[in-house]
A = this chain, B = another copy of it.
C-alpha cells in the first residue's frame, strides 16, 4: 500500500478498493468484531499510508454495504446482527394493512438433523453431493399466526460443533456471527408461486393447493462464499413481499 503500485495490468484496483479489501480482511479475521469501534480515519490513514480521503471512500463503501455503522462525533463501528437490522435488511415480508415496521417473526422448530447434500443443495452451497449438512425445518409466525415454513441448509464443515446446540434461536444470523464468526453480508433470492402440498397445508393451516410464495435464498459471507440455503414457503393471503427497484 505504501508503494504507488504503478500498475498497468488488467488487474488494477484503485487505492480505496485495496484499502477496503484490507479492512474487510480485518473483519474476516475477527480483529474487529461486531460492535467494536474502528480506529479513527486519521489513524487508519497513518497505518495504511494513504490519505484520510482515501480511507473515507473505503469506509463509506463498506457503510453502504451494511458492514459498518458510522456515527458523527462517536466513530465507526462494525455492524452488529441485531434483530432490527437483520429484519430490515433480510426480511422482506410485510402485512398488507400495516405500514408500521413489523416485529421479528417467532419460530416453531419442526426438525433439526444432519443430512447429506443433494444435488441442488450442493450446487447452491458450492459443496460436493453427499457432503454433510445441517438441515433445520421450522415454521415462522407473525402475531401468533403461521405465515411460512422454512428449510435452512448449512454446510456442517462451516459450523463445527453445531450438534452441541440445545436450541435454535429465532435470529440465526446472530447465532452464526456470535458462535462461528460468520457474517451474512448478502443474500440472493429467487421467488416463485407454488401450490401448497399436504405438509404446507398442515403447518400453515391452509388448504392443499393454495398458492404459496416460494423464496429460495442463498446467503453469503464477507468473502462471498455461500453459507446458507434457505427455502421458505409463505402464505401471502394477508402479507406481501416487498422489492424496490431503482
A interface list, Cβ under 8 A from B: 65-66, 89-90, 92, 185-195, 209-214, 216, 234, 236, 239-246
Q: Is the CB of A211 within 8 A of B195?
A: yes
Chain B min CB distance to A113 (Å): 27
Most chain B beta carbons < 10 A, residue from A89, A191, A216: A191
Interface majority SS (helix, strand, loop, mixed), chain A: strand
Tell me which of B186, B195, B246 contacts A246 (CB under 8 A). Answer: B186
Q: Is the CB of B240 within 8 A of A191?
A: yes
Q: Is the CB of A243 within 8 A of B191?
A: yes
- A187–B206 alpha-carbon span in the complex (Å): 32
Q: Is the CB of B241 within 8 A of A190?
A: yes
Tell me which of B190, B239, B244 contacts A189 (CB under 8 A). Answer: B244
Tell me which of B191, B210, B239, B246 contacts A241 (CB under 8 A). Answer: B191
Tell me which of B65, B66, B194 contacts A193 (CB under 8 A). Answer: B194
Known: A187-B245, A190-B241, A243-B243. 17 other contacts (CB 8 A): A66-B246, A90-B245, A92-B245, A185-B246, A186-B244, A186-B246, A191-B191, A191-B240, A191-B243, A192-B239, A193-B212, A193-B213, A193-B214, A195-B211, A209-B209, A213-B213, A216-B240
Q: Which residue of B lies closest to A217 (CB)?
A: B245
Q: Is the CB of A192 within 8 A of B240?
A: yes
Q: Is the CB of B244 within 8 A of A192?
A: no
- A185–B245 alpha-carbon span in the complex (Å): 9
> Contacts A195-B211, A211-B212; is A189 near B242 (CB within 8 Å)?
yes
Q: Is the CB of B245 within 8 A of A89?
A: yes
- A125–B91 alpha-carbon span in the complex (Å): 26
Q: Name 12 interchain pairs, CB-CB below 8 A, sorted by A.
A: A92-B243, A188-B245, A189-B243, A190-B240, A190-B242, A191-B236, A191-B243, A192-B240, A192-B241, A193-B193, A194-B211, A195-B211
